[in-house]
Structure 1
């Protein structure tokens, strides 16, 4: 019997600072490994309103170049949610420094 290859992207060797917060700021307290086509580091912060609920968020991590197209502004899906992005930063992921092979 043949095995079906997994479609999950593999780590690509790049890393970005990572964090997730329920506030509008988060300090990068960890490092996340980027997967597949993710070759940029992003920082997004803002608020999402859905129905009568409002959430603030801040997130840092890896993303694709297309994700970097998200700019500061208001994104709406009428009747579903409103996302107000107040911070949108994106930069190419730094090339990792050479590590000693084991």
Structure 2
């Protein structure tokens, strides 16, 4: 895709999200379940406020490739785990099958 050199990585990220998550969904799930950023050809994260022109000047590349990167947001399982541990600690030995 060709874009103007004045476009920011943030604008390109929005375009990529629209392409890969049409109507806010993909086969992997809803857009809200993911974190997004822009990566360059070396798999480095590019600041969203950078423009295409700035990236050209920085890398000295004649042809630029950038990538919309997504990864699932981390789930906070510590609360679930502590609840499970608390429940196990309060059970009597007969209920857990332990012998004392």
Work out whether the TM-score is over 0.5. no
Structure richer in helix, relative to its length: 2
Q: Larger Cα Rg: Structure 1 or Structure 2?
A: 2
TM-score, length of structure 1 as denominator length: 0.25
TM-score, length of structure 2 as denominator length: 0.26
